[in-house]
Each structure stands twice: as structure tokens, then as C-alpha cells.
Structure 1
């Protein structure tokens, strides 16, 4: 008797092997897609937080007058900030593990992003015309996957000191 309706053992093994390859490929693709999505989500969160923090600091420093603020730098404690000369509670910058903006703590509502204080600072330079330039370095890290990104920008404050010297 010749039975042609069933699968042979070779055909069955070939079907199982091909199905296994397809399943393995699909699983690998799915896992890599989830990892990529997590990385992209972390990077977007970091960029959003950096945009908010940096633009807030830039706006505050850009509108400050040189005659009203002094720059305080304490690298040992990661403190870099502008302090109002007549009111020491009005600060803008990094102090004691917080970001301050005009005396108030700056809040950014993203729990998966944190500041890497050891890699964040504000540097201050002054040229011969008393123009002050502040270089802000901000490093943020994702708490989900330790993805880290550093942002850097420069901003000048209003030079009203030169005008006073020229007038006087």
C-alpha cells in the first residue's frame, strides 16, 4: 500500500526547522525594537529636560546686569551660580545639588532624568571690555538605562559696567 496523504519525517523536520528560524528571527527583532524604543524614549526625555533647563538659565543670565550680580564658584561642592549683590538669596545656577533660577528651585517634571553634578558646571570669563561670558555645561543621565548626554552653551550678561565707567 502506498499512502501519499501524510508528511514524511524529513518534511516534518524541515518544517520545524524553518518555523524555528522564523520564530527566532521574529523574537530577536522584537527584543531589539523594545531596546531601541527605550533608548529613544530616554534620549527624548533628556533632550526635553535639557531644553527646559538650558533655556531657563540662558534667559535669566542673558537679562542680568553685570553690576547687579557676582559669580560664585565652589568646584569642590559643584556650586556655580550668579548671586545678586544686594540679596544673597537671589541666585541663578547650580548650588547644593539643585538648579536655581532667580532664587527659586527650578523644577523639571521628569523622573527618569537626573543631573550628573560632577560633569555639570558654569564657567565665567571676562574680557578687557568687562563683557562677561558664561559657559554652561549640563550633563543629564537617564535613570532607566544610564544613557548620558552633555549639553554646552555660552551666554553673555548685560554689560552695564563699561557704560558707568565711560559716563563717570
Structure 2
């Protein structure tokens, strides 16, 4: 116990060189830890945004495919901003429209199905500017108003954009399926 008491009475301290070395090592360790932490947060946010973009792309694709197969059109026509699905059943003609419309919430381009803008199936937070949906006949010609297609391919190109923390995140998804 006396040894411990004698050490407490000792007036020796650290030299300037020892203090500078200790501060340098401490600063390097803190710097490395903060860089790793910041990199982790940035990666986490980037992955979160990418997952959000993928989820929205999947939602849009499934909504389009669902509408096409549930409505069961007899022919399809291209419009300037999307597709007209036309069903001729016993002389009664029904039409549904799938299109990308600019000027949705916050001025972004959104997907509308049958002119319903606030459809919960297609409520998304991404801007779809530059996205296209086009149908082609089995021989490769476009399905136009005067040349509608009874079978062929629907080509969908989605360009999704989200803004987060001053950065822009983009994702492109391309899909083709038959009708």
C-alpha cells in the first residue's frame, strides 16, 4: 500500500514528445474510425435508394403485366405516351390506356393506367421521365392506330430517378413480354 501512496506523490509527467506521439496516434485512430463510419452510412443510404428503385420498378412492371393479362385485350395500339388496350367482346369495344404522364406529384412523370393518376398500384416516388412502353407486331412493325396488333411484344423501358441528400440516383430496367 505504501508503494501505491508513494507513486501518487511522484511529480513526474509526460514529456512533450510523448504527448505529441500520443495525440498523433489518437488522431489517426479517430480519423480511420470516422472514415469507416461515414463510408458505412453512405453505402447504407445508397443501397436503400437502390432497393427502393428496384421495388418501384417491380411494382410498375407487375402493374402493367397484370393490366394486360387481366383486361385481356384483343388488340393493342401505340399512342404518343403509351399503349391503348382494346377489347372487342360481342361488338362492345372497351379501351384501357397505359401511359407515362408528366406533371404528377411534384412535376414528375408517373405511370397511369386507364387515366387513374392516384392508383395505389402505381403510386411511386421516382421520376419516370424518359420511360417508354411500345408494342410491336410479331414481324417487328409498330402497332399504330391504323395497324393495331392482335399479338406481338410489349417493350418496356423504365428510367427511374430519385433524389436524396443532394445526389441523383438512376436505374434503368428493360423488359419484353408477349401478348
Shift of 1:109: 4.5
Q: Are positions 1:29 and 2:42 aligned together? A: no
Of 155, 162, 167, which aligns to 1:142? 162
Matched, 1:38 2:78: no
What is the Cα deviation at residue 53 of structure 1? 0.7
Name the larger-Rg structure: 2
Report what 2:133 is aligned to.
122
Which residue is 1:61 aligned to?
A: 68
Cα shift readout 1:81-109 (whole Å, capped 9, x = no counterpart): 22436345x31232454312244234445
- Name the CA shift for 1:57/1:72 in 2 (closer, same or farther; >3 Å): same
- Determine if contact 2:73/2:86 at 8 Å carries over to the other structure: no
Q: Which has the higher contact order (CA 8 A, sep 6+)?
A: 1
Contact 1:136 1:154 (8 Å CA) reproduced: yes
- Work out the CA distance in 2 between the residues paired with 1:63 and 1:25: 56
Q: 1:80 corresponds to which residue?
A: 82
Alpha-carbon distance between aligned partners in 2 of 1:23 and 1:124, rounded to the nearest angstrom: 58
Gapped regions of structure 2 (runs ≥ 5): 1-9, 88-92, 103-108, 140-148
- Counterpart of 1:138 in 2: which secondary structure? strand
- The count of corresponding residues between Structure 1 and Structure 2 is 146
| Deviation of 1:59 (Å) | 1.7
2:106 — aligned with what?
none
TM superposition shift of 1:130: 5.2
| Aligned residue in 2 for 1:98 | 110
| Alpha-carbon distance change, 109 to 72 in structure 1, aligned in 2, over 3 angstroms | closer
Runs (5+) with no aligned partner, structure 1: 158-168
* Coordinate RMSD, CA, aligned: 2.5
